[in-house]
Amino acid sequence: MSMSFLITIPKDQIPLMKKILDLNENQKKIIVDQFKSFKSSNFEDKVKPIEELEDFPLIFDLLIILFRLNQNLQEDQIFKDVDEFIYNLTEDFVQKLKSENYQFESNFDEKFQSMKKFLKDLLAMDTFLFYVEKARSLLIERSRLIRNTRIITDIRPVFREEKIDSPNYCVITHNLKVEYSKDLENTKKAYYALDHQDLIQLQKHIERALEKESEMRKLCQKAGMDVLEV
pLDDT confidence of residue 1? 38
pLDDT confidence of residue 162? 73
Kindly report whether the global pTM for this prediction surpasses the value 0.85: no
What end-to-end distance do the CA atoms of the chain give, in Å?
Answer: 44
Is 143 in contact with 188 (CB distance < 8 Å)? Answer: no
SS3 33: helix
SS3 51: coil
Average pLDDT across the chain, whole number:
81
Highest mean pLDDT among 4-18, 132-146, 194-208: 194-208
**Beta-bridge mates of residue 153:** 174
Structural domain spans, the chain: 11-140, 145-222
Sign of CA dihedral 122, 125, 128, 133: positive
Tens-digit pLDDT profile for residues 92-117: 999 999 988 888 889 999 999 999 99
pLDDT confidence of residue 2? 46
Residue 75 scores a pLDDT above 80? no
Cα(20)–Cα(92) distance, integer angstroms: 15
Residue 182 scores a pLDDT above 50? yes
Tens-digit pLDDT profile for residues 159-174: 887 777 788 888 999 9
